[in-house]
Amino acid sequence: MLLRDAHNRIIRDLRVSLTDRCNFRCFYCLPNGEPPMARKETILTFEEIAEICEIFVSLGIEKIRLTGGEPLLRKDVESLIEKLAKLKFQTSNSKFQILENPKSKIQNPKLKDLALTTNGFSLEKRAENLKKLGLDRVTISLDSLKKENFKKITGVDKLDEVLTAIEAAKRAKLEPIRINAVIVRGWNEDEIVELARFARETEVSMRYIEYMPLDSAHEWDRKLVVSGKEIRERISQVFPLILKESSRGAETAWKYAFADGAKGEIGIIAPVTEMFCGACSRIRLTADGQLRTCLFSTTEHNLRDVLRSGATRTEIVEFIQSVVMKKEASHSINGKDFAPASRSMSFIGG
Ligand code: SAM
Ligand code: SF4
C-alpha cells in the first residue's frame, strides 16, 4: 500500500523536524531567535517519532531526513538514529520489531535512506558514531566561506567549526555529502563561484537554494531572490557545467557535473523561479507532531493527538492517508493571493 495523493503523486520522502530550537540565527530563517519554547509535552518523544516513521515506511516512505531547527541540539539524537536505522532492515518475514508496541506491525517495505540536515556546529565529534549507528548521509549548511560574512549571515562566528564538520563527515563517509547554500542578493551572491570551487576541491555536492519566503522575520523580498538561472550562469562562466539528467524526477535539484571532469557536483534548487511541485514526493512532520503537506501550507494536521488518543494502527494509517489526499497541487509563491506559510522554516523543518 503506497501513499498516493489526489494528484497521483506517490509520497516517498518524509522530513522530520526534531526541534524548533537553533543555536544559529540565520537572517533568512530565524534571525530573532525562537519565541518562547513550545510546551515540552507537545514535542514528540523519540518513541513516538519512531512509531510514526515505522508506519510511514510500511506505507512506502523510502527516505527519512531529520531536520529542524538544529536536530543535533535534541538530546541523545543518537538513540533515535539507532532506532530509525533498523527500519532499513525490515523484511516481510522478519520477526524484528523496532518498538514494543502492539500497533507496530512489520510489513514489506524498507527504509532506503536515512539522512540529517545540520548547521554542522556539533557534528565533528559525533559524525563517526552517527555513521556507525546507521545514519547514511548528512547535508550541512554553509552560506559563506568568508569568516565575517558567515557571521553576518548566521549570527555566529562558527565558520571554522562548520568546515571542520564537513571534513569529519567526509572521514566518517556520511556520503554523498551535500552542502546547502541559500543565495541572497547583497549577502552572498558574490560567493557563488567560490562555493563552486569549494565543491570541486572538497568533492562534495554544493546545493544552491533560492531564498524562500519562510523567514520568521517576514522580511523576504522577491528582489533579494537570486534565480537558479543566474546562479547557473555565474558558475558556468568560470566552471562550465554539464546537466547530469534531463529530468529531476522527484528530486528538487537540477544536478550538474563539472565539464572538465573535476569531482564534486552542483545542485540548483529553484522553488521560486522554477517551481517543481508537479513531482513533489514529500511530506513533513513537525517537532510537535503536525503533518504538513507542503513547506508553504497554511494548515497542519494534528497527528500527535491522533497518536496519543490511543488510535489503532489502522486509524493512524487512515488519518495519514486522508492528510496525503489534501496535499496541495502546488505552492503559490508567485500567485497574487500568496499567503505566507503558517510557520517559518525553522519550525517546519527545511
Ligand atoms: N539547522 C539545520 C541547517 O541549517 O542545516 C537544519 C534546518 S534548516 C531550516 C534546513 C535548511 O533550510 C538549511 O539548509 C537552510 O539553509 C534552509 N533554509 C532556511 N530558511 C530558508 C529560506 N528562507 N529560504 C531557503 N532556504 C532556507
Ligand atoms: Fe538554525 Fe538552520 Fe535556521 Fe540557520 S537555517 S537558523 S542553522 S535552523
Per-residue pLDDT tens over the stretch 195-206:
999 999 999 999
30-48 average pLDDT score: 84
What is the pLDDT averaged over residues 85-89? 95
Nearest one of 68, 34, 67, 27 to 154, comparing CA atoms: 27
C-alpha distances in Å from residue 125, one per residue of 136, 137, 162, 210, 346: 17, 15, 12, 31, 24
pTM over 0.85: yes
CA of 108 to the centre of ligand 2 (A): 36
- The answer to whether 73 and 19 are in contact (CB under 8 A) is yes
Q: Are strands 265-269 and 282-285 parallel, antiparallel or unpaired?
A: unpaired
Confidence of residue 292 (pLDDT cuts 50, 70, 90): very high
pLDDT exceeds cutoff 50 at 12: yes
Among the residue ranges 29-33, 103-107, 126-130, 284-288, the one predicted with the least confidence is 103-107
C-alpha cell at 236: 558556468
Residue whose CA is at the smallest distance from ligand 1 atom 11 = 350
Dihedral sign, Cα of residue 314, residue 316, residue 321, residue 322: positive
Pairing of strands 241-243, 205-210: unpaired
CA-wise closest residue to 318 among 10, 59, 30, 47: 59
Residue 210 Cα to ligand 1 midpoint, Å, equals: 11
CA 31 – ligand 2 centroid, Å = 9
Statement: residue 333 has pLDDT above 50: yes
The predicted pLDDT at position 155 comes to: 97
Which residues does a 6 A CB cutoff place in the pocket of ligand 2? Answer: 22, 24-26, 29-30, 68-70, 119, 141, 345-346
Q: 141 in ligand 1 pocket by Cβ < 6 Å?
A: yes
* Confidence class for position 117, pLDDT limits 50, 70, 90: very high
Residue ranges and CATH numbers for the domains of the chain are 13-177+277-348 (3.20.20.70)
Other beta carbons within 10 Å of 37: 11
Testing ligand 1's pocket by substitution, the residue of 30, 140, 141 carrying the most ligand atoms inside 8 A of its CB is 141
Residue 70 Cα: closest atom of ligand 2: 8
With a 6 Å cutoff on the Cβ, whether 182 touches ligand 1 is yes
| 48-72 residue pLDDT tens | 999 999 999 999 999 999 999 999 9
Return the pLDDT at 97. Answer: 47
Report which DSSP code applies to 10.
B
Q: How far is CA 346 from CA 21, 117, 163, 187, 304, in A?
A: 8, 12, 22, 20, 19
Q: Which ligand number lies closest to the CA of residue 17?
A: 1
Q: Whose CA is nearest to atom 3 of ligand 2?
A: 29
Residue 103 confidence class, pLDDT cut points 50, 70, 90: low
CA of 154 to the centre of ligand 1 (A): 11
Looking at the CA of 20, which ligand is closest?
Answer: 2
Q: Is the CB of 269 inside a 6 Å radius of any atom of ligand 1?
A: no
Cα separation of 181 and 15, whole Å? 19
d(CA 2, CA 61): 8
Grid cell at residue 109: 517495505
Taking the CA of residue 214 as reference, the ligand 1 atom at the shortest distance is 23
Cβ count within 10 A of residue 287: 26
Q: Give the pLDDT band (50/70/90) at residue 331.
A: confident
Q: How far is the CA of 347 from the centre of ligand 2 (A)?
A: 10
Question: For residue 207, what are the β-bridge partners?
Answer: 180, 267
- Rounded distance from Cα 212 to ligand 1 centre (Å): 10
Kindly give the number of the ligand 2 atom that is closest to the alpha carbon of 154. 4
Check if the beta carbon of residue 303 is closer than 8 Å to that of residue 347: no
- Per-residue pLDDT at 337 exceeds 80: no
- Kindly report, residue by residue over 307-320, the tens digit of the pLDDT: 999 999 999 999 99
CA 140 to centroid of ligand 2, rounded, Å:
11
Q: Which of 158-167, 269-278, 339-348 has the highest mean pLDDT?
A: 158-167
Which of 66, 141, 179 for mutating ligand 2's site (highest number of atoms within 8 Å of CB)? 141
Give the three-state DSSP class for 180: strand
Contacts by 245-254, CB closer than 8 A, 24 or more apart: 248/276, 248/279, 249/279, 250/12, 250/13, 250/279, 250/280, 250/281, 251/279, 252/276, 253/207, 254/228
Q: Which of 81, 114, 51 is nearest to 289 (CA)?
A: 51
Closest by CA to 212, choosing from 317, 93, 294, 121, is 294
Instruction: Judge whether residue 95 has pLDDT over 70.
Output: no
| Ligand nearest to C-alpha 214 | 1
Indicate whether 148 pLDDT > 90: yes
Q: How many CA atoms lie within 13 A of 343 on its CB side?
A: 25
pLDDT given for residue 100 in this prediction: 42
- Give the distance (Å) from ligand 2 centre to CA of residue 248: 26
Across the chain, what does the average pLDDT equal?
91
Q: What is the DSSP string of 52-95?
A: HHHHHHHTT--EEEEESS-GGGSTTHHHHHHHHHGGGG--TT--
> In terms of pLDDT, which residue wins out, 214 or 267?
267
Distance from Cα 313 to the centre of ligand 2, integer Å: 34
Q: Tell me, using a 6 A CB cutoff, whether residue 297 lines ligand 1.
A: no
- Ligand number nearest CA of 22 is 2
The residue type at 324:
V
